[in-house]
Amino acid sequence: MTGSRLAVDVGTVRIGVAVAAAGSSLAMPLETVAAGADAVPRIAGLVRREDAGIVYIGDPLRLDGTVGPAAEAARAFAREVARALAGDEASGTVEIRMVDERLTSAQSAKGMRAAGRNTRKSRSVLDQAAAVTILQNALDRERATGRPAGTNAEQDD
């Protein structure tokens, strides 16, 4: 698989983005994007800028594994990103994949508190940290299985 990897933690106010360079197994925070009308074009721009081959979008399933409103919204966002990149020669072929993100925000907040960060005052950093967790889990899965993590977002309804 070629290109870098991006991860997106979709929220109603902010969207955290993380990146791993091509060939790297380490996820790094990239940016926090404001949710809203400009979010999809901004994410598509980051995909192009970072030359991403795969974009992992967190799928916030309920704890019991069922799909709720948050997961439906994340899946709709993933389809919008896929449409924005479709036919874009500058982006090449980019896979948009949904990955289970249950408890990643809680895990990220716990890590930030352990590092002495106030999570209430660091919301945008927390969104990026959640994206880093999503991406690191996906990279670890890729390394263990030799295949991309998650499911193809366009097949996922």
Could you report the per-residue pLDDT of 70-114, keeping only the tens digit for each?
A: 999 999 999 999 999 986 665 568 999 999 987 655 555 555 556
Could you report the per-residue pLDDT of 19-31, keeping only the tens digit for each?
A: 999 999 999 999 9
The pLDDT score that the predictor gives to residue 157 is 46
Strand-pair category, 52-59 with 14-20: unpaired
The pLDDT score that the predictor gives to residue 149 is 95
State how far the Cα of 77 lies from the Cα of 138, in Å rounded to an integer.
19
* Domains of the chain by start residue, with CATH: 4-155 (3.30.420.140)
Strand-pair category, 4-10 with 52-59: parallel
Q: Give the number of other Cβ atoms within 10 Å of residue 39's Cβ.
A: 18
pTM comes to 0.85
Sign, CA dihedral 135-12-46-65, equals: positive
Query: Looking at residue 81, what DSSP letter applies?
Result: H
Residue 140 pLDDT level (bands cut at 50, 70, 90): very high
The pLDDT score that the predictor gives to residue 110 is 59
Q: What is the mean pLDDT of the chain?
A: 86
